[in-house]
């Protein structure tokens, strides 16, 4: 194993080695050097990219995806105080929620955690979120993206209603809309005027990452 602390962070993450990872994070924190902390955060981000690739290629499944997401989140939590003092910023805020009438939150939560570990600020509105609550959150938090999840076909109509309400209140132009869940498709996204459909948390995070760089 390499002595390079960044390589160590990455390999611990990819070996699901929690103790090793937290030790490596502690070593970075002890340095109290914002640049080293930034390097560490970058290394974790690289590691998560590899996690995402393994997931998309079928090598890893939900267990590994969620576990590495949690590890990265914990590591980021310890590193971020160092970053903030040096003025490092989050990639932006993403508001997420499951639409009215639907209580499924598994996919939404996995997306939220994974996107958070990739450096986004997540505002999770929960499940069964009313149209006006999505709109209010869009106004309050000024997110780069708004994500809606829906697994029940009978509730899919709410997705379009939220987008209409955002337009009506003049909020639509300032943000991107990403949707996901078993009831939705790429085609549905086009029909209701969403910017993207994400088949899984990793693809969804790739999409918002690309948006945040625009």
Partner 1 sequence: MHAPVKIELQPLGTAAAVARGTQLQDVLHRFGVEFPCGGRGDCGGCRVRVLAGSLPITEDQRELFSEQELADGWRLACRHAVEDRLVLEVAQWETTVLVDHGELKFAARPGTAIVVDLGTTTIVAQLLDLQTGQVLALESSRNPQAVHGADLMHRIEYGLSKTGRVELVETVRSEVGAQIQRMLASVSNTDLAIERVLLAGNTAMHHFFCDLDLEPLAHAPFESEQAGFQEIDPADLGWALPGDPRVQFLPSLGGFVGSDILAGILATEMHRSEGIIALADLGTNGELAIGNRDRIVCASTAAGPAFEAGQIQMGMQATTGAIAGVEVAAGELRCRVLGGGEPRGICGSGLVDAVACGLETGLIKSNGRLSRGSISLAGRVEITQQDVRQLQLAKGAVAAGIRILLGRLGAEASTVERFYLAGAFGNYVNPTSARRIGLIDFAAERIEPIGNASLLGTKLALFNEALEGDHFEALRNSVEQIPLGVDEDFQAYFIQETSFPNL
Interface residues toward partner 1, by CB under 8 A:
58-64, 66-67, 100-106, 109, 127-128, 152-155
Residue closest to 159 by CA, chosen among 129, 137, 118: 129
Please tell me the distance from the alpha carbon of residue 25 to that of residue 37, in angstroms, as a whole number.
9
CB atoms within 10 A of CB 136: 16
What minimum distance in Å lies between the beta carbon of 60 and partner 1? 7
Q: How many residues does this entry show for the chain?
A: 214
Task: Write down the least CB distance from residue 180 to partner 1, Å.
Answer: 16
Helices (H), the chain: 5-14, 18-31, 34-56, 62-85, 106-117, 131-141, 157-168, 186-192, 201-213
Min dist CB 183 to partner 1, Å, is 9
Name residue, tokens 């009506």: 168
Nearest to partner 1 of 32, 154 (CB atom) = 154
* Min separation Cβ 31 and partner 1, Å: 33
Q: Which is nearer to partner 1, 66 or 123 (CB)?
A: 66
Q: Name the residue nearer to partner 1 (CB basis): 48 or 196.
A: 48
Q: Which CB sits closer to partner 1, 66 or 88?
A: 66
């Amino acid at each position: 194993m390499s002595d390079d602390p960044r390589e160590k962070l990455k390999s611990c993450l990819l070996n699901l080695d929690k103790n090793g990872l937290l030790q490596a994070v502690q070593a970075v924190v002890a340095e109290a050097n914002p640049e080293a902390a930034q390097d560490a955060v970058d290394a974790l981000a690289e590691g998560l990219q590899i996690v995402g690739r393994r997931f998309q290629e079928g090598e890893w499944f939900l267990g590994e995806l969620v576990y590495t997401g949690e590890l990265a989140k914990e590591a980021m939590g310890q590193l971020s105080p160092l970053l903030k003092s040096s003025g490092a910023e989050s990639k932006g805020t993403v508001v997420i929620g499951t639409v009215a009438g639907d209580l499924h939150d598994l996919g939404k939560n996995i997306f939220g955690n994974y996107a958070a570990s990739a450096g986004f600020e997540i505002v999770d509105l929960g499940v069964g979120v009313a149209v006006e609550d999505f709109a209010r959150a869009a106004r309050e938090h000024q997110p780069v993206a708004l994500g809606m999840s829906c697994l029940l076909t009978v509730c899919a109509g709410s997705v379009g209603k939220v987008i209409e309400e955002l337009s009506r209140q003049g909020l639509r132009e300032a943000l991107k809309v990403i949707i996901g869940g078993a009831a939705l498709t790429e085609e549905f996204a086009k029909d209701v005027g969403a910017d993207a459909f994400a088949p899984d948390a990793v693809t969804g995070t790739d999409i918002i990452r690309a948006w945040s760089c625009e």
